[in-house]
Amino acid sequence: MECYPVAKVGGLADVVGALPKYLNKIEGIEASVIMPWYNKPFVHDHSFEIVFDGWIHQSVHTFQVQVMKERSQTLGFDLYLVKIPGLLDRDNPYGYWDESQQFLAFQHGVLHWLSAMKIRPDILHCHDYHTGLVPFMIENCPEFNFLKGVKTIGTIHNGEYQGQMRWDMANYMPWFYGENYGLLDWNGYINPLATMIKCCHAFNAVSGGYMQELFQNFRGLESLVQQENGKAYGIINGIDTEVWDPATDAFLDFNFSKKDASEGKWKNKKALCEEYGLNPDLPLFSFIGRFAGEKGADLLPKIVEKSIQQTQGRLNVMILGSGEKQIENELKELSGTYSNFALDLGYKEYLSHKIYASSDFLLMPSRVEPCGLNQMYAMRYGTVPIVRYIGGLRDTVEDISTGGSGINFGDATAEDAVNAMHRAMHIYHDHDLMKNLIQSNMDFDFSWDKSAHIYLELYRK
């Protein structure tokens, strides 16, 4: 339901905004994105044409469905927005009381449009539970008989969210063959993510490490994914190296390449520290992301306090993010207590780029991390990641003790994270080692070029 730069909440947007662009660079491939219409600047700043205008029925309600196509392929692929007045015409992707109805209407509207216009893709690639019912609807709703047999792939970006809803919501779905209701059911509820796994032709998690974890810990779907393991894959995400390039990044105060990385990072760090009242001569540890338990964000207040106290203030910590109010309030209180702690609340794309370029170390104390993109952005900008050894972080960040370019720690605790920060302090003060880490991190190839070809192999299967 997200696509950068149209609408972004998390990493899903970065993937959907980059993968089709890189697929389209491969000869013979034509990839497009279909997503809901949101009241966002991108929509108003670009030109769209209406390519479909129809109606769908949900229970006793009738809704208009408009499909709008962006005229100039600004993003490197055809972008289609589905607008349903009253449901898909709002400011934000998530957070509404009628989300289940919204997502049902989106899936219904997309399949109604494709069927009515006789558009039959080779593959429909569905992302997360929000589109998890598409593989079921194609095969079990007679309204979409034209699409029957179209291959479907489901990508699990975060198995913590499954879209579970009560069975009375089936009234909002297009009519389906009732004898196949079991494909929708999981423990007495409609579970779109479980349905996607049951009905799609193949599914993948966004890293090999996370795929393995799902077999053991999947919020109740462990037995299902074990049963369907023959069509399970792990494919690590890439990053858009055209957007994330310190040599050309327009958000940075000073651009730099691998050749002048140490000098370039210092200039950016000095500018950022001056803006936020920090001492640029101290190592800068940063966190960027949502304040949610799965990101380990509830540990941040203790991490800030312990790290500053145990080092007698010989480091800086900067945090950019928003989310759970209790975490925000605890961090606000600390920002008034410690002069070497900077806090900026909210989602600010430009500032995240500045922080990656300026930081010496990036903290990721995640409890769950299906892939993680932040560590890849950090390494692209010569920043050393400090990560919990889990999921996609395990696949992408090897500890310096075994020849890698990052720091791993085992448990999602403030103590383990602060101990890792102590290790980082020793690295920071070894100037030759730090310089080598900066350059070796910038050498890593996390581009979508590689991952797009792996997805293409899966499509062809």
Residues 360 and 430 in one domain: yes
Do 289 and 389 lie in one domain? The reply is yes
Largest CA distance in the chain: 69
Question: Which has the closest alpha carbon to 316: 425, 199, 442?
Answer: 425
Q: Is 267 part of any known ligand binding site?
A: no
pLDDT at site 426: 96
- DSSP one-letter code for 365: -
User: Whole-angstrom Cα distance, residue 8 to residue 102?
Assistant: 18
**Helices in 205-248 by DSSP H: which ranges?**
208-214, 222-227
Answer whether residue 249 is part of any domain: no
- pLDDT per residue, tens digit, the chain (461 aa), is 999 999 998 889 989 999 999 999 999 999 999 999 999 999 999 999 999 999 999 999 999 999 999 999 999 999 999 999 999 999 999 999 999 999 999 999 999 999 999 999 999 999 999 999 999 999 999 999 999 999 999 999 999 999 999 999 999 999 999 999 999 999 999 999 999 999 999 999 999 999 999 999 999 999 999 999 999 999 999 999 989 999 999 999 999 999 999 999 999 999 999 999 999 999 999 999 999 999 999 999 999 999 999 999 999 999 999 999 999 999 999 999 999 999 999 989 999 999 999 999 999 999 999 999 999 999 999 999 999 999 999 999 999 999 998 999 999 999 999 999 999 999 999 999 999 999 999 999 899 999 999 999 999 99
Assess if residue 380 is contained within a domain: yes
CA–CA distance from 150 to each of 90, 118, 271 (Å)? 31, 13, 53
**CATH code, domain with 403:** 3.40.50.2000
- Please indicate, yes or no, if residue 247 is contained in any of the structural domains: no
Residue with tokens 């879209």: 163
User: Is residue 315 located within the same domain as residue 425?
Assistant: yes
User: Do residues 214 and 222 make contact, with C-beta atoms less than 8 angstroms apart?
Assistant: yes
Residues 184 and 215 occupy one common structural domain: yes
Residues 33 and 123 in one domain: yes
39 lies in some domain: yes
**What single DSSP character describes residue 320?**
E
> Is 134 contained in some domain?
yes
Tell me if residue 17 falls in helix, strand or coil. helix
Let me know whether 228 and 353 are in one domain: no
Which phi and psi (to 5°) does residue 372 adopt?
A: 85, 125
Would you say residue 243 lies in a domain?
no
Which residues constitute the domain of residue 407?
260-445
Same domain, 399 and 295: yes
Please check whether residues 112 and 135 belong to one and the same domain.
Answer: yes
Distances (CA, A) of 229 to 196, 197, 206, 379: 13, 10, 15, 33
Nearest to 163 by CA among 125, 134, 139: 134
Please indicate, yes or no, whether residues 277 and 368 belong to a single structural domain of this protein. yes
The length of the chain, given as a count of residues: 461
Q: How high is the pLDDT of residue 117?
A: 98
Residues 234, 264 within the same domain: no
* 232 and 264 together in one domain: no
Is residue 431 domain-shared with residue 455, that is, in the same domain? no
Looking at residue 301, its amino acid is P
User: Is residue 245 one of the residues assigned to a domain?
Assistant: no
Number of domains in the chain: 2
Query: Contact 206/235 with Cβ under 8 angstroms?
Result: yes
